[in-house]
Amino acid sequence: VRARAWSWAELAGPVVLIVATGLLGSFVSAARSLEFTDALVSTAIVVALYVFVGNSGVLSFGQISFFIVGAYVAGEYTVPGDAKPSVLPSVFSIIKDHTVSNAWSLVLAAAVGAVFALIVGAPLMRLTGLAAGIATFAVLEITHNIVRNWEKIGPGPLTLSTVPETTDLWQATLGAIAVVAAAFLYQRSPLGRKLRAAREDPFAAQAAGIDIHRQRLWAFVLSGGLSAFAGGLYVHLQGTINVEDVYLELTFLTLAMLVVGGTRSLWGAVVGALVVSGLDSFLSDAENGDVSWYHASAGTRLVAVAAFMAAVLIFLPGGLTERSSMAPLRTALRLRR
């Protein structure tokens, strides 16, 4: 019974953190509230990344390609019909002639992302280790290159604009909770357990009859769908998107958030995303002179965030939420029960 209660705490904890972030964001000025929304969208991306990387133990640099696909699908299908000829002059008619509502665009994004992940993952999920990392990176490169140049599926190198800005604080909170809930349900399901067994000991897992390739593929598809969903949230937050803004830097930043938090738990993904986003927003406010007690010189933000991430990884290689660093909290919770 205690084990079951603890496992639900793994859902409740992140959800409480996310709701707290959402509530906090509703009490501050509109400009600053945007930073909270942004942090929640980042949380959704990092949790989507966690679904694959955390459960399988295989590093992927490719999840941002599903994010890109989701963002463009959600964006292109919600650009108002009369704006389409000017924003998307040469796209296929299947994009040009259809417009859907905000909620449906998110569903569509998730579906297209999952299908794309299925097609890509089927051959690639046989790889492990560095080969898997490089192959998924190749997927990111190809996606970026094609989206940037092929004007039949998007605006090419131009910025996609006039996307309705519908992601507010509450939608971002709900979206992040939905992604966390999906991740939680997956990792409790037989599929998730099999994959984590394969992560811990591939040989024993295979001996027990687990098809590692298939289990990895499930996680990859779910993670791809969730990443694309997060992409939809992102494009509806920004209102515009350029493929250069969602490329290497975002890939490395989200991976770093996950590793800083701890790759092996849902907690880790959420804590890492919120802590790094928080630090990033705080320093960018300080650079702009919006913090009364601390004024940072321009450029401090990048240096400080990178130094923070490097320091965490060097001194706490398991991340902020690694079991040993969480031990006091766990003991406290057990004692109360």
Partner 1 sequence: VSTIQTLIDATALGSVYALMAVGIGLVFGVLRLVNFAYGQLVMAGGYTLALTNGWNPAVSILVCFAVVIGLTLTMEVVAFRPLRNASPATMLVATFAISFLLQSIALLRFGALGKPVGTLTGLNRPIADGSLIVRWIWIVSIVVAACGLGALLLLLNRTSLGLHMRAAATDFRTARLLGVRANRVISLAVLLSGVLAAAVAVILTTEQPFVTSDFALRDTIIVLVGVVVGGIDRLWSATLGGFAIGFATGALGGFLPSTGDWPFTNGVYLDSAVFLLVILVLVARPDGLFIGRGRRAVERV
Q: Given the rule CB under 8 A, which residues bind partner 1?
A: 53, 59, 123-124, 126-131, 133-135, 137-139, 141-142, 144-146, 149-150, 152, 248, 252, 255-256, 259, 263, 298-300, 302-303, 305-307, 309-310, 313-315, 317-318
User: Which neighbouring-strand residues pair with 241?
Assistant: 160
Which C-beta is closer to partner 1: that of 239 or that of 318? Answer: 318
**Least gap, CB of 5 to partner 1 (angstroms):** 30
Q: How far is the CB of 243 from partner 1 (least distance, A)?
A: 12
Q: Other C-beta atoms within 10 Å of 308: how many?
A: 17
Nearer to partner 1, 80 or 129 (CB): 129
CB of 178 to partner 1, least distance (A): 27
**Smaller CB separation from partner 1, 168 or 287:** 287
Amino acid at 130: L
The count of C-alpha atoms lying within 13 angstroms of the C-alpha of 25, restricted to the half-sphere facing its C-beta, is 25
The distance of closest approach from Cβ of residue 323 to partner 1 in the complex, given in angstroms and rounded to an integer, is 14
Residue environment code for 273-290, b if the CB has 16+ CB neighbours within 10 A, otherwise e: bbbbbeebbbbbbbbeee
Of 110 and 255, CB closest to partner 1: 255
> Shortest Cβ distance from residue 106 to partner 1 (Å)?
27
Nearest residue (CB) to partner 1, 63 versus 173: 63
How far apart are the C-alpha atoms of 37 and 35, rounded to whole Å?
A: 5
Minimum CB separation from partner 1 for residue 306, in Å?
4
CB of 108 to partner 1, least distance (A): 22
* Closer residue to partner 1, CB minimum distance, 103 or 306: 306
Query: Torsion-angle region of residue 237: left (phi > 0), alpha (psi -120 to 50) or beta?
Result: alpha
Shortest distance (Å) from residue 328 CB to partner 1: 23
Return the number of the residue (289 or 317) whose C-beta is nearest partner 1: 317
Q: Which is nearer to partner 1, 25 or 121 (CB)?
A: 121
Task: Quote the least distance from Cβ 281 to partner 1, whole Å.
Answer: 17
Tell me whether residue 48 or residue 259 sits nearer to partner 1 (CB atom).
259
